[in-house]
């Protein structure tokens, strides 16, 4: 067994302290250290079953503590036993009401369980209401907890189709951490659903300029096409302008792409909106041929399956 | 970033010591597409496109940010080879089980379909402390993993054996990937079973060396002694039409049986009732038999090397009486001493809650125990240590005996700790020798 002494967080931050590390980043770091130090299993080289066994033995002797329950909840999550994890988190909060990170994790878990219940047609989850759990954290004295809670509340509102509330929460969270791509995308979704297409486009353009994220660019392109479609009859000039912007992005992407189906579908949508069905069909046929090869497996990537369904629908 | 870095760093926020220590290409600085985060990224090296993913603390869902970026990145790359790497293995039965643990299951069910549809060739992972290497596989996403209709080549991939794995020239979807779990670089190796897609499973320490020469990729597992104990090759030439192997040759199922009588607790030394096992009975220990290690062998920093004579085995270690799991068949009449060490982990804050450490040990004849380099117990060895141990008293192993390790708690550290024990026989011609320890802790008494 080769064992090397691990460099601790303190060592690394002392030796490699970044002069550009902002106060915000330091604050987030502190929270991250606290969060993840607490979340990880005690015997990290062992599987979660062994760690749970060990924690059970400890709890039998010492009685349950918030820390032990929180750690066991992490292991139950690793074992995909979300209900048991939620129960442990609830007990941990009951024992130590000041454990904000447990509350944050419980709310996140409750949202996951709610989504799973909804997907299987059930009325709700037995694990409790995420908004209720999260509420005390919105006024947390800890800025990073507060920001994380705002973003999570935005996500909850998004899943409840409460678009305006989601927009408000993501806007607040992004004001503090503007480069969180996932939040940018969720904000854009909420804005579009809330009828704020223009704001959505502004946010996505700004985010792409800053990050160059290809995911943001793809969503920007989709939003341009959808906004153009919505405005095609009432605001034809605006619609044409949006489609031109989308075309520029698509041409740029197709020039460099090895796998082209996603961008060929987008170009076909633009061509259809520009009343060029023959050219659109060519792109859709090419996309379908490529997708068929990539989907030649019995459990394919669901996003590609969806793409093929879309192509088949457009070809009808 | 793996679970150990995740103790102090957050992939979601991109902050912590890991992100301070390493600067990863978030803007496509070395090829690949910008990911806008250091938590996952890609880069090009020669004709290889490397993709690094975060399997630890990000959403692994097919429409989550990482998966969307991965698709975009795969769409763009035109390198000859795609090598992806991350922490949690999608296929393993080493110290972790990919059929049971969320991160491992999700990487297989949700991320592997994207990689294989994008033409990836090789996945390198860790986490599970073992070396496992698959056949050429495609579409093995189900849980539990099965070998039915997912094996494209059931050979060993060795050009001198069954032949190299063959794929078409360039990048093509679903022409097969090789999975390598290379978690055998440091912490104790162990095995739960056999993942059905694996061709090689090795319980030894070592490193994997990859070489790419135009259309040929080779991987070699080199153990601590410098011996190549696995070798495979993927050759991409011409046009290959992949086919499923209907009845693949699989490794036999793995079973563990310790065909030895269970060692009971001795009544000589009462055991405390509320003890927790820090090192389990019948754990795997590194041991050196018949030669003396350097003076610092008990320290955390010391690395037992195979070239130095160190081996790995399950305790008890010894000979005679038919009660030892790891038998030292050459010990009698040749040498009287064995050195053994193993590690155990403590999460931050755990050592402060420990009131007492205790050693449970079945032994014959004497021993000296060290915790992180400090002597904490000496039984039956009145003076000296190592080659200078003198006047070893005879003692027959008769079940586990409990010894309090006085003042040992002060030597505990967060994370990795090393317990080392040197065992001594009282004479060369003794009929038996046994060293069978495990470590216990007791919580601090409530005020």
B138-183, pLDDT tens digit by residue?
999 999 999 999 999 999 999 999 999 999 999 999 999 999 999 9
Residues 180-209 of A with CB under 8 A from B: 181-182, 185
Residue A76 belongs to domain spanning: 24-160
Nearest to B303 among A3, A29, A71 (CB): A3
Higher model confidence: residue B13 or residue B257?
B13
- Whichever domain contains B311, its CATH number is 2.60.120.260
Q: Rounded to a whole number, what is the distance in Å from the CA of A295 to chain B's nearest CA?
A: 7
Residue B331 belongs to a domain: yes
In-domain check, residue B200 = yes
Q: Kindly state whether residues B57 and B170 are assigned to the same domain.
A: yes
Residue B443 CA to chain centroid, in angstroms? 29
Confidence class for position A8, pLDDT limits 50, 70, 90 = very low
| Cα separations in angstroms, A307 against A263, B110, B111, B224 | 11, 17, 17, 49
Q: Which of B236, B258, B292 is the last residue of a domain?
A: B236
C-alpha A231/C-alpha A248 separation (Å) is 19
Q: CATH no. for residue B148?
A: 3.60.21.10
ipTM over 0.95: no
3-state secondary structure of B119: coil
Q: In total, how many domains does chain B have?
A: 2
pLDDT value at residue B250: 92
A11-15, A61-65, B73-77, B403-407: which has the minimum mean pLDDT? A11-15
Q: What distance in Å separates residue B261's CA from the closest CA in chain A?
A: 24
Give the three-state DSSP class for B333. coil
Are A62 and B444 in contact by the 8 Å Cβ rule? The answer is no
pLDDT digits (tens, 9 = 90+) for B8-32: 777 777 778 888 888 899 999 999 9
Say whether A269 sits in a helix, a strand or coil: helix
Residue B92 near residue B195, CB atoms below 8 Å: yes
Q: Minimal Cα–Cα distance from B85 to chain A, Å? A: 19
Report how far apart, in Å, the C-alpha atoms of A169 and of each of A114, A145, A153, A181, A195 are. Answer: 20, 14, 7, 15, 17
The residues in A 210-239 lying below 8 A from B, measured between CB atoms, are 211-216, 218
> Looking at residue A156, which CATH number applies to its domain?
1.25.40.10
pLDDT at A12 exceeding the cut of 50:
no
Q: Are residues B231 and B280 in the same domain?
A: no
B chain contacts of residue A174, beta-carbon cutoff 8 Å? none
Please provide the distance, in angstroms rounded to a whole number, between the alpha carbons at the two ends of chain A: 63
Domain assignment present for A277: no
Domain boundary at B236, B259, B285, which? B236
Contact status of A84 with chain B (Cβ, < 8 Å) = no
Pairing of strands B206-213, B216-223: antiparallel
Domain around B384: 276-443
B-chain residue closest to A78, CA distance:
B102
CB A38, CB A101: distance < 8 Å: yes
Quote the DSSP letter at residue B421.
E
Distance CA B375, CA B223 (A): 32
* Contacts with A77 from chain B: Cβ below 8 Å: 102
Question: How many separate domains does chain A show?
Answer: 1
- A99, A142, A215: best mutation site toward chain B, by most B Cβ within 10 Å? A215
Q: List B residues 227-256 in contact with A (Cβ-Cβ < 8 A).
A: none
Instruction: Find which of B3, B12, B16 to mutate to test the A interface (most A CBs within 10 Å of its CB).
Output: B16
Selection from B193, B184, B199, B185 nearest residue B133 by Cα: B199
Residue whose entry in the numeric block shows the structure tokens 């060293």: B435
Rounded CA separation A192/B397 (Å): 75
Residues ≥6 apart with Cβ < 8 Å to B261: B323
Q: Can you give the pLDDT at residue A31?
A: 42
Cβ pair A12:B21 closer than 8 A: yes
Exposure string of B163-175, with b = 16+ CB inside 10 Å and e = fewer, is ebbbbeeebbbbb
Q: Does residue B23 form part of some domain?
A: yes
Comparing alpha-carbon positions, the chain A residue that sits nearest to B35 is A213
Is residue B293 domain-resident? yes
User: Which pair of tokens denotes residue B235?
Assistant: 């050759």
| Closest C-alpha among B198, B199, B222 to residue B209 | B222
Choose among B36, B78, B301: nearest Cβ to A181.
B36
Residues 6+ positions from A69 with CB-CB distance below 8 Å? A88, A89, A91, A92, A95
Give contacts of A295 with chain B, Cβ < 8 Å: 117
Residues 180-219 of B with CB under 8 A from A: 185-189, 192, 205
């Amino acid at each position: 067994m080769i064992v090397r002494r691990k460099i601790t967080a303190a060592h690394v931050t002392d030796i490699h302290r970044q002069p550009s590390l902002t106060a915000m980043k330091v604050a987030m770091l502190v929270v991250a250290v606290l969060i993840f130090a607490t979340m990880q299993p005690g015997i990290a080289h062992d599987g979660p079953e062994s760690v749970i066994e060990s924690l059970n033995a400890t709890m039998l002797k010492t009685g349950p503590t918030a820390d032990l329950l929180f750690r066991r909840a992490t292991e139950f999550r690793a074992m995909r036993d979300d209900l048991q994890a939620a129960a442990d988190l609830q007990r941990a909060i009951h024992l130590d009401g000041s454990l904000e990170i447990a509350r944050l994790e419980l709310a996140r878990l409750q949202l996951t369980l709610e989504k799973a219940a909804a997907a299987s047609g059930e009325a709700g989850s037995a694990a409790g209401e995420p908004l209720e759990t999260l509420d005390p954290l919105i006024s947390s004295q800890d800025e990073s907890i507060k920001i994380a809670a705002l973003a999570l509340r935005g996500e909850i509102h998004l899943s409840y189709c409460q678009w305006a509330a989601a927009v408000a929460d993501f806007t607040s969270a992004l004001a503090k951490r503007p480069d969180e791509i996932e939040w940018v995308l969720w904000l854009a979704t909420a804005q579009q659903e809330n009828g704020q297409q223009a704001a959505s486009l502004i946010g996505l353009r700004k985010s792409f300029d800053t990050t160059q994220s290809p995911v943001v660019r793809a969503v920007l392109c989709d939003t341009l096409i959808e906004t153009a479609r919505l405005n095609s009859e009432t605001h034809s000039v605006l619609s044409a302008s949006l489609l031109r912007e989308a075309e520029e992005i698509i041409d740029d992407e197709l020039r460099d792409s090895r796998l082209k189906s996603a961008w060929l579908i987008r170009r076909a949508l633009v061509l259809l909106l520009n009343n060029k069905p023959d050219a659109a069909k060519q792109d859709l046929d090419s996309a379908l041929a490529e997708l068929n090869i990539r989907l030649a497996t019995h459990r394919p990537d669901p996003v590609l399956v969806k793409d093929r369904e879309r192509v088949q629908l457009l070809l009808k | 970033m793996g679970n150990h870095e995740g103790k102090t760093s957050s992939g979601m926020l991109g902050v912590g010591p890991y992100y301070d220590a390493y600067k990863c290409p978030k803007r496509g600085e070395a090829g690949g597409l910008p990911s806008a985060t250091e938590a996952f990224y890609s880069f090009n090296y020669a004709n290889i496109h490397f993709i690094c993913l975060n399997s630890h603390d990000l959403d692994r869902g097919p429409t989550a940010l990482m998966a969307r970026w991965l698709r975009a990145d795969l769409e763009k790359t035109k390198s000859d080879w795609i090598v992806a790497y991350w922490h949690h293995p999608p296929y393993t039965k080493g110290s972790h089980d990919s059929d049971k643990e969320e991160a491992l299951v999700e990487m297989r069910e949700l991320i592997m379909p994207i990689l294989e549809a994008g033409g990836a060739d090789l996945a390198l992972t860790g986490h599970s402390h073992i070396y496992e290497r698959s056949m050429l596989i495609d579409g093995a996403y189900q849980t539990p993993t099965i070998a039915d209709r997912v094996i494209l080549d059931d050979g060993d991939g060795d050009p001198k054996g069954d032949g190299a794995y063959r794929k078409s020239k360039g990048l093509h979807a679903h022409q097969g990937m090789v999975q390598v779990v290379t978690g055998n670089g440091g912490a104790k190796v162990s095995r739960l079973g056999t993942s059905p897609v694996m061709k090689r499973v090795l319980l030894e320490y070592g490193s994997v060396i990859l070489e790419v020469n135009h259309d040929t990729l080779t991987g070699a597992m080199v153990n601590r002694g410098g011996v190549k104990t696995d070798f495979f090759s993927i050759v991409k030439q011409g046009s290959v039409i992949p086919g499923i192997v209907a009845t693949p040759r699989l490794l036999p199922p793995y079973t563990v049986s310790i065909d030895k009588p269970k060692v009971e607790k001795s009544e000589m030394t009462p055991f405390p009732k509320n003890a927790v096992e820090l090192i389990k009975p019948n754990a795997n220990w590194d041991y050196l038999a018949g030669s003396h290690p350097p003076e610092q062998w008990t320290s955390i920093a010391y690395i037992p090397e195979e070239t130095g004579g160190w081996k790995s085995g399950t305790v008890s270690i010894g000979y005679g009486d038919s009660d030892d799991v790891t038998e030292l068949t050459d010990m009698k009449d040749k040498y009287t001493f064995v050195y053994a060490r193993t590690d155990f982990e403590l999460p931050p804050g755990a050592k402060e809650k420990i009131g007492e450490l205790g050693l449970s040990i079945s032994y014959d004849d004497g021993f000296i125990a060290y915790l992180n380099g400090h002597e904490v117990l000496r039984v039956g060895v009145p003076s000296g240590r190592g080659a200078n141990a003198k006047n070893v008293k005879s003692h027959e192993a008769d079940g586990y005996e409990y010894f309090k390790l006085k003042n040992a708690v002060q030597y505990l550290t967060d994370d990795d700790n090393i317990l080392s024990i040197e065992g001594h026989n009282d004479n060369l011609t003794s009929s038996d020798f046994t060293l069978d320890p495990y470590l216990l802790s007791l919580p601090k008494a409530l005020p």
